[in-house]
Amino acid sequence: MTVQAAAQSISDYNIVWNSQSKNSGESMPCGGGDIGMNVWVEDGDILFYFSRSGTFDENNTLLKLGRIRIKLTPNPFDGEYFRQELKLENGHIVIKGKDKDISSDVRIWADVFNPVINVDIANNKSLKAEVFYENWRHEDRFLRKNESNQNSYKWAAPKNLVTKKDEVSFDGNRILFYHRNSGETVFDATVAQQGLEDIKSQIFNPLQDLTFGGFVEAKGMKATNTSSGIYANTDFVAWKLESEKPQKNYSVKIQLHTAQSNGLQEWKEALYKPVQSDLKKNIAWWNEFWDRSFVHIQPQNKNSKGFEIARNYQLFRYMLGCNAYGEYPTKFNGGLFTYDPVHVDSTFNFTPDFRKWGGGTHTAQNQRLVYFPMLRSGDTDMMVSQFEFYNRILPTAELRSKIYWGHGGACFTEQIENFGLPNPSEYGWKRPESFDKGMEYNAWLEYQWDTALEFCFMILENERYTGKDISKYLPLIESTLRFFDEHYQYLAKQRGRKTFDENGKLVLYPGSACETYKMAYNAASTVAALQTVSSRLLETTEIQTDTAKNRYYTEFLNRLPEIRTREIDGHRTIAPAWLWERVNNVETPQLYPVFPWGIYGLSKPDLDVALNTWKHDKDVTKFRSHIGWKQDVIWAARLGLVDEGKELLIKKLESASTRFPTFWGPGYDWTPDHNWGGSGMIGLQEMLLQTDGKKILLLPCWDKSWNVHFKLHAPYNTTVECKLENGKITLLKVLPESRRKDVIKFTSQ
């Protein structure tokens, strides 16, 4: 195989470690379906944390399910040879060790199709094996100062709040472990806080009776005893399985189950239903996943910055693929791959469950960056969990509008819980009695409602990319739009006699341009969102064929205000809003009409206005960064700024300071920072391929000195594969072929 051919294979980006790790901060991600593991070898022991989508406790912490430790005796990992490899092409990790005449190969993998973790151990000689299930929630644990940042109480936890204990026991020769939510939860506290107890039964409650856990078993192994220890400042109890006699091969199985079950017996019966994992079927899934799309940069030079950027793009996409089919979306603040917090911040001596910004709390501005890149990468099947997140809580969002203000539409807040209400601490525990109960008493979040429109846009884009039926989500999109129409008419009537301005337009005041320009009048980010989503909704067959709805959304679109511009040093720029009272954060909503809304950009009118905003708006330049959720790299790409875009891309997607290259962070949030990775993915995709209606813009912001070979997706079930070598396009494959006529090339032939 030639070097070039090897570099065009996903296996070329596999991460290989030839030495063991110091701690969990030097772990490697592994997963599939809705399971994530952090795998490392320390002092000759194989260890991994394992997590699963949707495992929320009473306080809405996303709890890990435990830690596994495997010991082999004699130990092949005590010798001169060690290798740990993430095999991307197969979706699993292989660990090899050799000491004198003893060697071992261990494969760790999660079943994409079933909630099962498999550890396959193959030794060249019969060895003794011990498998420990380690649990730090063996008793109720009081949450210390700042520790409730991991749950929905955040900085305002009630006194003596605890993480309740798990139940762990031997069940024959299995280790059974589970957490079953009981008593009052943060859901109950939030409903009471927000004055909704009269309609409590109508609000979706994902925490009540939620039970999650599983069992560990291995053929030829028996339950023995328990022991205790301390890891990363956290005490734990370990339950041990031990081989009945030395064996050459072991298959350790961890089977999981999560459900809101009526009783424990019902949950156990479902857990113990036999499941058989099929390794070949799983490898085939990962092979198909990698065939959907790819990006190879400078593939013949593995020491180049371009190769590193492409590798990290692929590695992060793998991390997203590990929660392809989770019931809940991948959390922006670590996903399924957080580890002991002391290795992120030495002052946080908390348990492995810790992460900043909560577990069941979903910060919409951050979540969107995790999911937008899945359109171009062809991973639209993985977007369902994010769409369902909003669809589940739609009735709650509509109830808020009805109860608080007496009008229709769905009010989705920015810091939103998995049950659809604002995060209680962001809502405010100490708020004036007279303050509007529908509002968050919060300087950053007040009137910040428009991010939900980005997920509505993703749903509409999903249909445009794939042709999939989105009719089940149309009520969500319609209701989200209707909220802005009815609520801002409601607010206008509170202020005075007239509902609209002198031109018959809605007055979007008070509003918020992201969390930055507060008490805004007609924020550009909100206007752009409403214009784009309503016009796109009007293109759907369902709305076009419904006369009443078509008339309503047409009228709504026509009464939206304009996006205003302003002069800065003689240059016409996009204004963040018509007016605002204060600047509260460091976002750049004046460029949201560029991304995500696509009103300005290459091949679009008034590109110079957007470029002036990038160059001359002092807040835009002051806020510019590559860190965390910052999306300047995306705007640079959309504006065709090749040099600036490349510089930002390198900073965004170059390797993190952690041992695993894509555990970026903590940025503004936590490590690994998934909105850091997501925004980097989008930036790279936009440099290679942009679309405008049916137009396909090829290499619109690409430095031709970087050879690249990519395959990405475009609307209307289109894939574009292109190879650029030495500044020349040497391969262009557009499927279907009929779409080739829509390609606009931005580089010489």
The parent domain of residue 315 ranges over 304-339+630-749
CA-CA-CA-CA torsion sign (696, 698, 702, 707): positive
Are residues 254 and 136 both part of a single domain? yes
Q: How far apart are the first and last CA of the chain?
A: 29
User: Beta strands 81-87 and 15-17: pairing type?
Assistant: antiparallel
What is d(CA 711, CA 718) in angstroms, rounded to the nearest whole number?
A: 10
**Residue 514 included in any domain:** no
3-state SS assignment for residue 69: strand
Work out how many domains the chain is built from and give that number. Answer: 2
**Residue 525 included in any domain:** no
Note the pLDDT of residue 6. 38
Helix (H) or strand (E) holding 175: strand 174-180
Are residues 191 and 335 both part of a single domain? no
**Residue 447 included in any domain:** no
What is d(CA 627, CA 629) in angstroms, rounded to the nearest whole number?
A: 6
Are residues 254 and 106 both part of a single domain? yes
Are residues 334 and 243 both part of a single domain? no
Of 223, 252, 273, the last residue of a domain is: 273
Beta bridge partners of 697: 690, 744
**Residue 4 included in any domain:** no
**Residue 258 included in any domain:** yes
Are residues 654 and 732 both part of a single domain? yes
Of 273, 295, 323, the last residue of a domain is: 273
Note the pLDDT of residue 8. 74
Are residues 217 and 318 both part of a single domain? no
User: Beta strands 174-180 and 210-218: pairing type?
Assistant: antiparallel
Task: Please choose, from the candidates 427, 438, 418, the residue with its C-alpha nearest in 3D space to the C-alpha of residue 483.
Answer: 438
Q: What is the pTM of this model?
A: 0.97
What is d(CA 316, CA 336) in angstroms, rounded to the nearest whole number?
A: 12
**Residue 155 included in any domain:** yes
Are residues 55 and 165 both part of a single domain? yes
Neighbours of 469 (CB within 10 A): 9
Are 540 and 474 in contact by the 8 Å Cβ rule? The answer is yes
CATH of the domain at 248: 2.70.98.50
Question: DSSP alpha helices (H): ranges in 150-208?
Answer: 186-193
**Cα 269-275-280 angle, rounded to 5 deg:** 165
In terms of phi and psi (left: phi > 0; alpha: psi -120 to 50; beta: otherwise), the region of 76 is alpha
Are residues 212 and 256 both part of a single domain? yes
Task: Please choose, from the candidates 494, 551, 560, 490, the residue with its C-alpha nearest in 3D space to the C-alpha of residue 528.
Answer: 560
Are residues 689 and 741 both part of a single domain? yes
Of 225, 256, 273, the last residue of a domain is: 273
3-state SS assignment for residue 7: helix
**Sheet with 294-297, edge to edge strand ranges:** 294-297, 708-714, 718-725, 728-735
Are residues 320 and 191 both part of a single domain? no
Are residues 77 and 168 both part of a single domain? yes
**Residue 395 included in any domain:** no
Note the pLDDT of residue 747. 65
| Residue 147, CB-side half-sphere exposure with 13 Å CA sphere | 19
- Residues of the chain with pLDDT below 70 are 1-7, 747-749
Predicted confidence (pLDDT) per residue in 237-260, tens digit = 999 999 999 999 999 999 999 999
Radius of gyration over alpha carbons of the chain, in Å? 26
**Residue 487 included in any domain:** no
Are residues 238 and 156 both part of a single domain? yes
What is d(CA 311, CA 654) in angstroms, rounded to the nearest whole number?
A: 9
